[in-house]
Amino acid sequence: MKTLAGIPVARGFASGPVFVFRSDGELPIPEYLIDPGREADELKRLKRAVATVRRDLESLVAVLKQRTGKEDVRVFECHLMLLEDELIQQEIEERIVNGRVNAETAVRKTMDSARSQFEKMNDPYFRERVRDFDDIERRLQKALAGCEHTTHTELKAPSIVVADDLTPSETVQLPREYVLGFATDGGSSTSHVALLARALAIPCVCGLGSVTANVRPGEKMLLDGTNGAVILNPDKSTQERFDILINRQREALEGASSKTPTGKLKDGREILLYANVHPGLPYTGMKELGARGIGLYRSEYLWLDRELEPSEDEQFNAYSEAVIAAREFGKDSVCVIRTLDLGGDKLVKGISSKEANPFLGQRSIRYLLTHRDVFRRQLRAILRASAFGHTAIMYPMISCTEELRDAAVELESVKRELAGEGIKFDENIAVGAMIEVPAAALSADDLARQVDFFSLGTNDLVQYTMAADRGNDSVSYLYQPLNRAVIKLVRMTVEAAKAKGIHVSVCGESASDPVIGTFWVAVGVDTLSMSATYIPGVSHILSRLSSEDLDEYAKVPDSLHPGATGAEIFDACRTWLTNKIPEIEDLIA
Ligand code: PEP
Ligand code: MG
């Protein structure tokens, strides 16, 4: 038996055989024969992929034309020509139709034959063109990976997926019914796989360092996403302990979700429970899980895994889809769209600049305020989407009043521009600030004058308060959401919001933790936003508590000795909750 420790990023326990997913930074290129009669579907996939690559290349050329020299543009114009080349297209299509191979294989073989012809040429210029075929192929394979596969997947039985890291498209392509858990070498609580795992309620441990080097495919693994560990080749008693935990957890979740999640306390007071989403996540089922709106739309997902800013129209399409989906969640529903939150560990090749210390650099609103054209295009797209349903704008990483002032000037100017063009939007769109920097919490009374709501981004607030990288396992002992320093900042933010009569929510992951999320409600937060799959559990706990109970709960940290650590406060809160509601023990496990 061997135990590896990592970062717990999605709660829950799993037990099953290992499926090793190796991408080595490149997308795996599936090669298989398509079923007879599926040739037309495969040609359609190919056409969609070609159209995507064409669109990307055209916008790349347009942007480069404004920004750089002619040489750079020519390279991509040449790629466009190669993409459209009739002979190449014909060869790929013939391989699909006559050879019945999938589009990826047809592209690979066609590019291989083009490369070998060019490699033989004497002229160094033509030999260099081999690189162009590499590039075109990489783009096409990537676009094909984003299109639904007609048949193939290697994962054919329930397994724990072990990988060095997983991109969003890799993660979503895995068949959900066969994924028992994720264990990755790299990654952190904010990596793509972590966000998706939480959204899909799949237990996940990241930052295991060398799990891929330590496992063999098919070997037995236990995964503890609550505490951050995987166990290889477990002994009998450990296996039995996990079986009990997995069963108890399943029963607890079934119990919680059998009641309609309402977010109502025992005395009827309502706490708004919203969903955290990002582009690419399906919205179906969120209403049934109890989501009353979208409390955090992570817009930066439109930027990740590409080298270019999405166009205003592309953004508008994605935002309006979310706004329309949120409309279905209830009559008072809202869709809170967060402006671009790039930087820190969310870096995009070609857009993010190299910085010595990206977590303290030009991230989020700082990037937007120094790239006003990008900011304006995003504001235009959000405002246009606001014509389709109740929408709010939220600025991430606000540190000071100037940032809100400057953002407001830009927003007003964009509104005038749209009005001048006769484009519809919500003139009174609500504007909020994320409180995730200690300076923002400390000046919350000033910031409250400038916005309609606050949303506490506790993922970052904890990291910046404790000066502990949220993705670095070696300092994870400092990552304490219930450290007294963090509690003080949350209380200050809540008090400032109440004094000004504005809403205050928590949209960091701590909102979904039964102990911590409930504690934030106890100190006065009126909305919790989390991955929708956690809403039933949190709602179940809230339904068992009255406002009076919560007043008592809020005092738990004060009842401890002054030097109580974050871990001690957490334990005391957990004990208080489980004494009050004994049957939730398994939800909290
Ligand atoms: C947060 O910091 O709590 C937050 C919600 O933002 P993100 O996790 O996307 O940085
Ligand atoms: Mg954040």
**Which residues are annotated as catalytic?**
192, 507
Is 318 touching ligand 1 by the criterion CB < 6 Å?
no
Residue in 189, 294, 507 to alter for ligand 1 test, most ligand atoms within 8 A of Cβ:
507
**In sequence order, what are the beta bridge partners of 179?**
159
Is 508 touching ligand 1 by the criterion CB < 6 Å?
yes
pTM of the model: 0.73
Please report which ligand is nearest the Cα atom of 512.
1
Answer yes or no: are the C-beta atoms of 183 and 205 closer than 8 Å.
yes
DSSP string of 417-467?
HHHHTT----TT-EEEEEE-SHHHHHTHHHHTTT-SEEEE-HHHHHHHHHT
Ligand 1: nearest atom to the Cα of 276: 5
Residue in 9, 189, 190, 461 to alter for ligand 1 test, most ligand atoms within 8 A of Cβ:
190
**Using CA atoms, how far apart are residues 367 and 378, in angstroms rounded to an integer?**
13
Ligand 2 center to residue 100 CA distance, Å?
47
**Using CA atoms, how far apart are residues 225 and 1, in angstroms rounded to an integer?**
18
| Residue 256 Ramachandran class (φ > 0 left, ψ -120 to 50 alpha, else beta) | alpha
Residue in 189, 281, 298, 304 to alter for ligand 1 test, most ligand atoms within 8 A of Cβ:
298
Please report which ligand is nearest the Cα atom of 508.
1
Is 105 touching ligand 1 by the criterion CB < 6 Å?
no
Please report which ligand is nearest the Cα atom of 189.
1
Ligand 1 center to residue 336 CA distance, Å?
14
Ligand 2 center to residue 459 CA distance, Å?
6
Hey, whose CA ends up nearest to atom 4 of ligand 1? 457
Ligand 1: nearest atom to the Cα of 508: 3
First and final C-alpha spacing in the chain: 23
The dihedral through the CA atoms of 516, 518, 521, 523 has a sign that is negative
Answer yes or no: are the C-beta atoms of 121 and 132 closer than 8 Å.
no
**Using CA atoms, how far apart are residues 503 and 494, in angstroms rounded to an integer?**
9
Is 458 touching ligand 1 by the criterion CB < 6 Å?
yes
**In sequence order, what are the beta bridge partners of 505?**
455, 527
Ligand 1 center to residue 426 CA distance, Å?
26
Is 531 touching ligand 1 by the criterion CB < 6 Å?
no
Q: Residue 235: how many CB atoms within 10 A of its CB?
A: 9
pLDDT tens over the chain, length 589 residues: 899 999 888 888 999 999 988 754 455 677 888 888 889 999 999 998 998 888 878 876 776 666 545 555 677 788 888 888 999 999 999 999 999 999 999 999 999 998 888 888 877 667 667 777 877 888 888 888 764 433 335 788 899 999 987 765 566 667 777 899 999 988 777 666 787 788 778 899 998 888 888 888 889 999 999 889 999 999 999 999 999 888 877 777 666 666 668 889 999 999 999 999 988 777 888 898 899 999 999 999 898 766 678 999 999 999 999 999 999 998 889 999 999 998 877 777 677 778 888 899 999 999 999 999 999 999 999 999 999 999 999 999 999 999 999 999 999 999 999 999 999 999 999 999 999 999 999 999 999 999 999 999 999 999 999 998 887 777 888 889 999 999 999 999 999 999 999 999 999 989 999 999 999 999 999 999 999 888 988 999 999 999 999 999 999 999 999 999 999 999 999 999 999 998 777 666 5
